[in-house]
Structure 1
C-alpha cells in the first residue's frame, strides 16, 4: 500500500492532520495490500435535527460515499455529536472563534462516510486486501474511534461452510481478545454480517516499522535491539497464552511515541487462513518473513514467530532482508536451504555478537533456534548492554 495514499493508522491509528505519513496496513496474507475507494454518491437528506445544528448546512451539501455491501442508514447524529460536544475550552471561546472552530470541525465532519457495519459508523476505508477491508470507524456506544477489519467469505461458500468459518473465527478472536499486554494491540469485538465477519481493534497513532525502514533504510543498532526486545516481550506473553502470531513482519510492528512498540494482528493470519478451506491460493503468512516449516506446510509453534522476528531484526540492522529472490519459488528455496550472509559483513559497524544471535534465530530447524521468546530477548538485551 503506497505510503502516501492512506492516513497513518494503527491496527493502526490515524493521524488526521498530517503529522506523519501513511502506515502500511496490510492484510496478513498479502505482501502488499491495495487501496480502494468506493464509487457513487448520495445526497444527505435534511431533517429537523440537521436544521437545528449551526454547522449542518455544510454537511447537507456534501456527497457521501456509497458501498453496496454495507448497511447505509443515515447517521447524521454522528456529525451532530462531533460538532456539538465541544470541550469546555471551546464552549468558553469568543463568539467569533467559536464560530470558526465549529465551522472548521463541520467541514471535517462533512467528509465522513455516513455508513455503518453493525453499530460501528464508518469514517474512512483505509485498505483493501484479498480477504477483506479495513476501516477507520467510530463506536457510538463507547464514544471512541476504533479500527474495523473484515474477513470476507467466498462467493461460492456454502451455508454450512460459512457456519464453520464463523465458529473458527469466533474461537480465534476470543483467544486474541484475552491478550492484555502493553506491547500488544487490543481486540475489542468480533461480529458478523451476511457476507463477512469482522474484528474491531484498538486505534493508535504512530508509524509501523516498514514505514520507518522506507524512510531511514536501517536503524541504529541500539535502537533496533530495544525495539526487538519489546516485540519479544509481547511474544513471551502471547505464546504462554497459546496464541501464535504467524505473520511477524515490519508492517505488523507499530512504533508510538518514544519507540513504544505495539504488535498488531496476533492470530489474524490464522483467521484469514480459515478461508483456505473453501478458497484456493491462500498463504498463511507473508512469504518473505516465513519460517522454513511454514513454507513446507509443517506444524508450527512459537519458534516460527522467532524466525520471522529474526528476519525483522536483520532487516532493521542491515537495511534489507536476509533472503531475497526474484520469484516465490526461489525465495522459498533460499529460506529453507540457504544460509544468510552474516550481518556484520553487510554492516561493518555491527558487533560480531549479533552474528551469533541471528545465526541461532534464523536456524533452519526449530530445535536449533531459541526455544522461546525469553531466550531471544535475553540475548538481544545482552548485546545491547555491551553497546553502552
Structure 2
C-alpha cells in the first residue's frame, strides 16, 4: 500500500483514494472519488517490485499504460470502461469504472465448482467481450477467473488488459519472458509462437474447465512442468461438465487451427446457458460469420 489506512491521497489533483479493492501482480486497485465529476471510480496503482532494474520498471509502466489503451479501444459492455490515465510521481494510474461485485475467482473460492449452465452463461459473456476485443485488434492474453468480474447487477465484465497485445504494437516483453498465468497459457504461446485470437479461446476453455471441475486441467507443481503438460499431455476428461464437455474439448485442441471457432462456441454456450443442449454442427463452423454467395 502506498498510504497508511485512514490516510487519503489525491492522484493528479482529482482522484481521491478511499480504500483498497484488491491486489494483483501489477499493483493495487483502489476505490476512489473523482472530485471533478463527483463519482466513484476504480484506480489501478502500479507497484514495482523492490530491486527491479530501471529499464524493467519503465517496461512495467508502459505495460500499465497499454492496459488503458487496449481496453479503451474496445466498446463493449462486457469490457471494463477506462476513463483516464493519470500521471502521478512519473508513473501512470489507470482510472476505470467501479464494478461492484466479486471476481469469478472469489465466487469459486466461496461456492466451489459451478453448474455447467451457470458456467456456460458466464463463458458466453466473456467470449462476447473477447470477440469485441479481437474485432478491435486486441488480444487479452490473460483470461482467467481473477480477471472476470461478476457485478452485483449480474453483468459479467472482463478486466485487466495489462498484458494485452495490441495488433500492430511493438512488443514490450523480453525474449523468453512468459507473460500471463502459466496454467491458462495456450500451447502455441508456451512454445514461444506468435499468439492469435485462438490463444484467448484456449484460455477460455481452461477457464470453463476450472469453473465446473474446481481445478484447471494442466496445473502442475511448478510453472515449467505446467507448461510442459500444456504442450505434451492429453486433456484430462471433464467429469462435471455435462453439455459443456464438447465446447471445452473443442476449445482445448492443441492445434489453434483445429479449435472451435468463437462464433460456434458462443452459440453453443448461449444454448447451454439457457438450459438447452446444442445441436451437433460442423466442427469449427461460425454461425455468426457473413455468408458469401
**Alignment TM class, shorter chain as reference:** 0.7 to 0.9
User: 5 Å matches for 1:223-372?
Assistant: 223-257=118-152, 259-265=154-160, 267-270=161-164, 276=173, 283-343=178-238, 346-347=239-240, 350-351=241-242, 353-371=243-261
Report which of the two has the higher share of helix.
1
Aligned counterpart for 1:157 among listed residues 54, 65, 69: 54
Corresponding position of 1:117: 11
Q: Is the 8 A contact 1:187 1:200 kept in 2?
A: yes
* 2:91 match: 196
Matches of 2:55 and 2:124, distance apart in 1: 44
Corresponding position of 1:379: 268
Match of 2:29 in 1: 134
Deviations 1:122-143 (A, max 9, x none): 1123444453332221110111
Of residues 25, 38, 49, the one that matches 1:143 is 38
Q: Decide whether aligned partners of structure 1 residues 354 and 115 sit closer, same or farther in structure 2, where only a CA change above 3 A counts.
A: closer
Change (3 A) 1:289 1:115: same
The structural deviation recorded for 1:311 is: 0.8
Cα RMSD, aligned residues only = 3.0
Q: CA deviation at 1:332?
A: 0.8
The C-alpha deviation readout for 1:196-218, integer Å capped at 9, x for no partner, is: 22211110211111111112211
Q: Which structure has the larger Rg?
A: 1
C-alpha displacement at 1:243, in angstroms?
1.3
**Residues 191 and 310 (structure 1), Cα distance of their counterparts in 2 relative to 1, 3 Å cut:** same
Given that 2:32 and 2:42 are in contact with CA atoms closer than 8 Å, whether structure 1 keeps it comes out as: yes
Question: How many pairs were matched up?
Answer: 270
Match of 1:218 among 113, 131, 141: 113
Relative to its length, the structure with more strand (as a share) is 2
TM-score (norm 1): 0.62
- Verify the 8 A CA contact 1:233 1:374 in the aligned structure 2: no
User: 5+ residue gaps in structure 2?
Assistant: 279-293
